[in-house]
Amino acid sequence: MSLSSDELKQAVAKAAVRELTPGMRLGVGTGSTVDFFIDALGESSLAVRLAVSSSVRSEQRLRAHGIQVVSLNAVSEPLDLYVDGADEIDGSGFMTKGGGAALTREKIVASASKAFLCIVDDSKQVKTLGRFPIPIEVIEMAIEPVSRALLAMGGQVRLREGVLTDNGHPILDVHGLVIDDPRAWEDRLNALPGVVTNGIFARQGAAKALVSTQQGVRSISFG
Ligand code: 5RP
């Protein structure tokens, strides 16, 4: 019998806890896979020193497990590890993120960490990013000009209805872009006035991925 999507996520979440060492200062991402990771961490005997969360959702879950959550500004050195899921990951550890609307805080916490451990199931592995629409958190007054610029770049833009991020901003989902050079695309999208953050994680790529498959969890390290 094959494992369900949730069972695959649970397996990779438990594998991620096995990567941790006691006393770590952890950055924690957001999403359904991370929810399983937080539960697995809370149920394990491993004690982390503290966690910095990328969302209100993850913060509440961490606290419910009695894990100490502090503000990023209370931490004076890089966090030991950032653990998060992704919407897509390619063969270089570049990712698309933001399906759960937490991309800005995720990118901030990832950038303040020594390494990014990505936890996914194998449905998230792609050759080229862009099959999943690229989320873009944008200042509300810039929705129109940013959408026009994205259209001129070859994308089709949809406002994510009824969603505001934890920072109070809307999200545009951009379909149809082929992200052939993730670093260049990340910079290009960031350069549009009004863009807060885009969901391409190339500058903050994964150092390592744990990939859940029907045959078990595979580990991939990126140079
Ligand atoms: C949230 C994210 C998530 O990591 C991404 O959407 C994957 O989520 P899930 O683990 O639920 O598939 O980037 O902003």
CATH number where 109 lies: 3.40.50.1360
CA angle 91, 155, 128 (to 5 degrees): 10
Q: How far is the CA of 52 from the centre of ligand 1 (A)?
A: 17
Measured from the CB, is residue 95 less than 6 Å from ligand 1?
A: no
* 111 and 180 both lie in a single domain: no
Share of the chain above pLDDT 90, in %: 99
Residue 195 sits in which domain range? 134-199
Residue-level pLDDT at 1: 84
Q: Are residues 96 and 141 in the same domain?
A: no
Give nearest CA residue, ligand 1 atom 7. Answer: 86
- Number of domains the chain is built from: 2
Q: Which amino acid is at 23?
A: G
Q: Provide the CATH number for the domain around residue 181.
A: 3.30.70.260
Q: Which residues are catalytic?
A: 106
Same domain for 105 and 17:
yes
CA of 2 to the centre of ligand 1 (A): 23
83 and 145 inside one domain: no
- Pair 64, 9 in one domain: yes
d(CA 72, CA 198): 21
Q: What is the pLDDT of residue 28?
A: 98
> How would DSSP label each residue in the chain?
-PPPHHHHHHHHHHHHHHT--TT-EEEE--SHHHHHHHHHHHHSS---SEEEESSHHHHHHHHHTT--B--GGG--S-BSEEEE--SEE-TTS-EE--TTS-HHHHHHHHHTBS-EEEEEEGGGB-SSBTSSPEEEEE-GGGHHHHHHHHHHTT-EEEE-TT---TTS--EEEEES--BSSHHHHHHHHHTSTTEEEESEESTT--SEEEEEETTEEEEEE--
Q: What is the mean pLDDT of residues 1-11?
A: 96
Residue 135 Cβ inside 6 Å of ligand 1? The answer reads: no
Q: Is 213 in the pocket of ligand 1 (CB under 6 A)?
A: no
**Per-residue model confidence as pLDDT tens digits over 21-54:** 999 999 999 999 999 999 999 999 999 999 999 9
> Over the chain, what is the mean pLDDT?
98
